[in-house]
Structure 1
Amino acid sequence: MPSKIRKLTLTADHIARIHKVVQDQGLTPGAELHTDADYDSWVEQMIRTHPASTTPTRLFAYGSLIWKPEIEHVGEQLGIARGWHRSFCFRMTRFRGTPEQPGLMMALDRGGQCQGLLYDLPNDNLESQFGKLFRREFTYKPANSMPRWITVETASGAIPALTFVMNRASALYAGRQSLEAVADVLARACGHWGTGAEYL
């Protein structure tokens, strides 16, 4: 007879039990970082492929960009991205994990749906806004979290929006895992930014 799953509330006490001081080991040996020219190329590509350049540009936020957008925006509304879902599919060997005990971070992966927040961006400085966003969202080559135009459903209809999706070709793509496997990783992982439990 299968055992019953116990419900557990994650508290500050639980998080404190696994916290430890971890020194930042720096860049992975051999890692290649994006250059200013690389970021400029990404910005040019995303502006060139803008699906609705005569309307306000929207950014679909589904994670840390919701509570820490760090960009100018002139409006916001709720939206649902169908065909994409939040997933602990981004393996972290730095920040909230180490090479010896990798952590997991959420990213947007294919399938399902995801509710998030749409930010209206001012169109007069998109190059600057995109450059700032891209430098925040991806640093290593190849990009782990890639910019992409998607369609988001809102109360007023379907709207194109820029978002960041997991690069399945990345060596840090963890794929789909069971809830138990994700919980086990988050309960153990800790990096110089803190623990996986704290991130959760």
Structure 2
Amino acid sequence: MVFWIFGYGSLIWSPGFEYDEKIVGFIKDYRRVFDIACIDHRGTPEHPARTCTLEPNEGAICWGTAYCVRGGPEKERAAMEYLERRECEYDQKTLIDFYAEEDTLKPALTGVIVFTSTPDKESNKYYLGPAPVDEMARQIATAFGPCGNSRDYLFSLEKAMFDIGHKDDYVIELANEVRKVLGVMGTGVTKEKKLVGPPHISVLQLRPHPEAIATDS
């Protein structure tokens, strides 16, 4: 057995589980949004942080990383149990096609698992829904929890996207808005965090794996 997990948030820079292969690529018809509450990692029930989920959007693409887990049922079970604990805000596992850069028309992997959330405030207690960018920025700038500040999650995601060579304009816009809020608050933002974006980074050349069975998170 082999399964693949797709990461589009913190899994990009901190997977936290044992994996056997990692490739950079994208999924189609989804976009990254900050519409989910985080109340036990970088926020609290009283002051929830905002974390990212995926929103169906025809024609959109979302870049991230796919992780392969091989080695038998025990290893696979351990990885999935870890992911389900970590991704507790996400109430759905969706199977998607994963594309590598060498062939943007034919999936490199099929059946990849990705954790997503039901966009319904009544059935999903973690769903916050969309909000104006300045309102989200104020929430992210001030929220914190046992694992750290909400803003550090956003800044880490921004850097991770640069590192894989595929910046996300929405993430950059939100991160820069958070920096404005922090500036008004007088919270001392470092020079590193003030960057709007590094110069172009060459993209990894990847080989498709049509024979693989896929899953993601």
Tell whether 2:147 aligns with 1:193.
yes
Q: TM-score, normalised by structure 1?
A: 0.62
8 A Cα contact 1:62 1:117, kept in partner: yes
Say which SS state the counterpart of residue 60 (structure 1) adopts: strand
Counterpart in the other structure of 1:167: 118
Counterpart in the other structure of 1:120: 68
8 A Cα contact 2:91 2:115, kept in partner: yes
Counterpart in the other structure of 2:51: 105
Q: TM-score, normalised by structure 2?
A: 0.57
Moved over 4 A (4+): none
CA drift at 1:164: 0.8
Distance 1:130 1:95, change over 3 A: closer
1:87 and 1:101 map into 2 onto residues whose CA distance is: 19
| Structure 2 unaligned residues grouped into runs of 5+ | 155-217
8 A Cα contact 1:72 1:122, kept in partner: no
8 A Cα contact 2:90 2:115, kept in partner: no
Counterpart in the other structure of 1:68: 14
Deviation sequence 1:111-143 (CA, Å, 0-9, x none): 2321011112215233333223222222xxxx6
Q: Which amino acid aligns with 1:104?
A: R
Counterpart in the other structure of 1:94: 40
1:58 and 1:146 map into 2 onto residues whose CA distance is: 16
8 A Cα contact 2:17 2:79, kept in partner: yes
Counterpart in the other structure of 1:130: 80
Say which SS state the counterpart of residue 52 (structure 2) adopts: strand
Q: Which amino acid aligns with 1:167?
A: T
Q: 1:84 aligns with which of 30, 42, 57?
A: 30
Counterpart in the other structure of 1:147: 93
CA drift at 1:145: 4.2
| Structure 1 unaligned residues grouped into runs of 5+ | 1-52
Bigger Rg, which one: 1
Tell me the percent identity: 26
CA drift at 1:189: 1.7
Tell whether 2:165 aligns with 1:178.
no
8 A Cα contact 1:79 1:115, kept in partner: yes
Say which SS state the counterpart of residue 185 (structure 1) adopts: helix
8 A Cα contact 2:96 2:113, kept in partner: yes
Deviation sequence 1:62-103 (CA, Å, 0-9, x none): 122122223332222221111222211111333322333322
Q: Which amino acid aligns with 1:115?
A: W
Alpha-carbon RMSD: 2.2
Corresponding pairs, count: 142
Deviation sequence 1:30-68 (CA, Å, 0-9, x none): xxxxxxxxxxxxxxxxxxxxxxx7xx4221111221222
Say which SS state the counterpart of residue 130 (structure 1) adopts: helix
8 A Cα contact 2:34 2:51, kept in partner: yes
1:104 and 1:129 map into 2 onto residues whose CA distance is: 25
CA drift at 1:195: 2.1
